[in-house]
Structures are given as C-alpha cells and as structure tokens.
Chains A and B, each alone.
Chain A
Amino acid sequence: MNRPALEVDDLLFAYPDGTQALFGVSFVIERGERVALLGPNGAGKTTLVMHLNGIHTCQKGSVTVGGLPVVKQNLREIRRRVGIVFQDPDDQLFMPTVREDVAFGPANLGVRGDELGARVQAALAAVGMDGFADRAPHHLSFGQRRRVAVATVLAMEPEILVLDEPSSNLDPAGRRELAGVLTSLDITILMVTHDLPYALELCPRSIVMNGGALMADGPTVGILSNDDLMTANRLELPFGFYPAEAMRAVGTG
C-alpha cells in the first residue's frame, strides 16, 4: 500500500459536443500532501475533478487512486476513497437533517447502527459542528453548511479530500475556520481554488492548469512569485500581497 494517493497519467477528455477539455494531463500526489489546483475559468479543473471519482470516465490515459484504477468495476471503492466537496453546499446537503446527510455516504457503503452513529459524530466533531446533528441544513449559515458538506465526505473515511472552491462565498471568519478544519485533518487534500493566498496558506504545492493542459507543478510560493507564469495563466494576486514575504512573516519561507 505504498502507492501514491493519486496518479493521473496522460488524461485526455472531450465533451460529447466535441469540445476538448483535457489534453494529456499527468501528475502524482503522494499520501498526506496538500496540493492546490490553480487556473482561470474554463481551464479544465472541474472536468479533471470529475475524473477523480469516475463521474467522467477516462477516454484516454488513466487515473489511479492508491493503486486502484478508476474503472467501472471499482467505482464503489473509488468513491469511498475520493471524497469530493462541491462548491455549492446546497447541492451536497439534500437530506432533511444534518445527521441523515452525514450518514448518507457511509450508509451507502453498508455501514449501519452504532458504527454509523459513531461515524456521524466523529465527522461532525472533526469540522467543529457537533451539536448540530438534528438541525435542518437550510437553517445553518453558509459557512456552517460548507463545514457540514466537508463532514458528509469525511464520514466515508476517504483517503483524498477534493475541494472545489472551498473558500468561495465564505466571510473572512468562515474562511479562517475552514482553514483550521482542513489543516487539522490527517488526509491528502487536492483543492481547486481562485483564492491564491488561501492556496499559499494551506498547500505547500500547487499545480497550474490552463486550456486543458498542465502549465506548472511545484512549490506554491515559487509559482505565485513567478510573474511571467502568473500573467500567462490569468492568475492575479490581491493588491499588496507578496507570497515570499507572507511566508517569511509566518516563519516558513
């Protein structure tokens, strides 16, 4: 079981209307890594994410999760191993109560009874939402809903957590609370984001995609400091933000 958490090898994909979305993407993520996936809108990031748990099937190339290829007969195990947190928590939380929603994933995997209850408790505790199990999702704040969405996936005890725009629409405190949750988890993370300071804070490594191809793969601080690379891929830092200085300020640069 020493295979990397995620291997994507020469992945190609075209939509049914002929639009080519991925042109041979390859990368490897080791266990325990936290990686940011950066790139402008339409770069193919979401299409790539949909391949990681077999929503889209590989047309050419391969995706392997912990040594297990993403093919039809492995889908059940793949979906346990790869937990995707979607951008809009209202898409992810569809049961009448938080408890039932968090239980949905593990129950699909056949977990029942006391163990199911324990999984729900543990997942909610991990995102700091214990005590909310009997609430209805639409009565929670947006930040709380996003954290519950993370819990729904954690309850399946995945090996990789994939987050689509985790900081979007969060207020600054909600954004910070989520960062606290994500850094506290002992799990491999792939995070799709436009929030570059968030990527720098949480992910030592970044992958840049543009036009369906991989443009860069390396330490986040180096990528964000490379002006030519940033401009070429429509990436913009907030005004007055200098990655290298930010890292020095927190003592890790």
Chain B
Amino acid sequence: MSGPHAHALYVHGHTVVHRLAPQCKLAAQLLFVMVVVATPREAFWAFAVYAVVVIALIRLAEIPPRFVAKRLAFEVPFIAFAVLLPFIGRGERTDVFGLPLSVEGLWGAWNIIAKATLGLAVSILVAATTTMPEFLRGFERLHLPRAFTSTASFMIRYFDVIADEMRRMKVARESRGYDPRWIWQVRAVAASAGALFIRSYERGERVYLAMLSRGYAGSLPRVDETPATAASWLAALSLPAVAALVATIAWVAR
C-alpha cells in the first residue's frame, strides 16, 4: 500500500504523468490503443517507435520497470493461443530453426502479441498513475452515464466493508470448529453467503436513509466542476497524435 487511495495497480508519485487530468489520460489511452491496432503489421519500425515512446513515458512517470514487467505477465494466458498460430496456420511454409512454420501464422502471432503488449503497457501506465477517485471523476467528465459512475463508486467504497464482514463471519465459523472437507459440509458457507447478502441489502437501506437525511434528491451532486486545462489535454493527446502520425506514414509507405 502506498498512499491513501492505493489500489493494487497504483504507484505513488508526483510526476507530470500523475498530475495530468484523469479524463485526458483516459481519452489518450483509448485513442492510442485504437491507432496501434490500426497500424499495418508489416511496419516493424512503427511498433518500435511506439515501444520507445511508451517506455519513455513509463520512465517519465517513475514506474519501476520490474513492476511493469510483472503486470505484463498478465497477458500470457491470453496470448498463449497466438503462439499456436504459426504451427496450425495454413498456406506457405517457412523453416525456422528446422521447424516448418506457417508464414501467415507467424504474421498473425506477431500482430496479436505486439499490439496486445503495447495496449496493455499503456493501460498499466495509466492505472499506475491514477487513483480510484480520479478514475471516477475522469469517467464522469467524459460523460459516462452517472448511473455507471455512481454504481462503481459505491462498489469501490463498500468492497472493503463487505470483505471485512465476510472475514469476520469466516473467523466466527472456524472458531466454532467448522472445517469443511466434503461438499455436503458446504451448507454453513452457503448460509453465510445468504446472511451476507441480507446484511448488505440492509446496509444499502441504511446508506440510502443517511443520504436522504443529507438532502439527497435522486442524483449525486457533481462536486468537481473544474474542466481539465488545455495544456493537460494537449500533453495527453500528444501521445495518440504522435502515434497517428507514425501509423499514417506506415500506411502510406506500404
């Protein structure tokens, strides 16, 4: 834990990247991923430029490379099937270290791995420099429906409270000698889950009463009305802008 709003993916810091308005970062991230996906797979040099830019930003945000590498491992199960493509691909074959591999399959695997890794790296960068409340404010400023943002906000707020309650119930079960070994002993766990649901439902009612008591009239008030500065937008959008320029050159030069 590294600060008041630490979520597991957050790295505490005071860099330029941390200070950028969250809505700018979110928009830049989405646009960058779209540009990367739209880049022709044959343009190796374009992907090299993207990689250099993303690595430079990670350095700028002072995020430890080990941290990024560990998080990148997350994609391994998802790209496992991409590794299979060169073996199961059809059409023209080529020899790589004596293995006959499909040319089309090799291109496919490269395409998926390169684009997924770049997309994930930039997402890790945004997650590592943005706190939970900032994310919520960012989505709100991007005009995501308030029903979504307030639901997410309540979920984040009460996750710990409910997890705590769950832990206390588990300790209480085990303190009375509960040690399930067989499936038919699962009844107590199921009953606890039911009790937890009822308790959470009742808490929801109490929270709603507390909200009513403070003048709630159907919609959460917007507290933060300050729009992002032009400089913030300019700084954030320079990333997808550079990428778009690279992608355009790659398409033209093809």
List A residues at the B interface (Cβ < 8 Å). 50, 53, 55, 76, 79-80, 82-84, 86, 88, 90-97, 99-100, 103-105, 107-109, 112-113, 116, 134-139, 152-153, 156
Check if B213 is an interface residue, CB within 8 A of chain A: yes
Taking a contact as CB atoms under 8 Å apart, the answer to whether A116 and B161 are in contact is no
Chain A residues with Cβ below 8 Å from B190 are: none
Can you name 6 A-B residue pairings with CB atoms under 8 Å?
A76-B217, A94-B154, A96-B153, A96-B157, A104-B223, A108-B221
- Separation of A94 and B151 alpha carbons in the complex (Å): 11
* Number of chain B interface residues as a range: 20 to 34
Kindly report which residue of chain A lies nearest to residue B220, judged by CB atoms: A104
Check if B16 is an interface residue, CB within 8 A of chain A: no
A105 interface neighbour in B5, B153, B215, Cβ under 8 Å = B215
- Separation of A104 and B161 alpha carbons in the complex (Å): 20
Chain B residues with Cβ below 8 Å from A97 are: 5, 133
How many A-B pairs with Cβ below 8 Å? 91
Kindly report which residue of chain B lies nearest to residue A135, judged by CB atoms: B4
Taking a contact as CB atoms under 8 Å apart, the answer to whether B4 and A156 are in contact is no
Kindly report which residue of chain B lies nearest to residue A132, judged by CB atoms: B4
Taking a contact as CB atoms under 8 Å apart, the answer to whether A134 and B215 are in contact is no
Kindly report which residue of chain B lies nearest to residue A105, judged by CB atoms: B214
Check if B225 is an interface residue, CB within 8 A of chain A: yes
Question: Contact mask B197-227 → A, CB, 8 Å, 1/0?
Answer: 0000001001101111111110011110100
Taking a contact as CB atoms under 8 Å apart, the answer to whether B206 and A86 are in contact is yes
Taking a contact as CB atoms under 8 Å apart, the answer to whether B156 and A96 are in contact is yes
Taking A96-B133, A139-B4 as contacts, is the C-beta distance between A108 and B215 under 8 angstroms? yes
Taking a contact as CB atoms under 8 Å apart, the answer to whether A100 and B133 are in contact is yes
Check if B95 is an interface residue, CB within 8 A of chain A: no
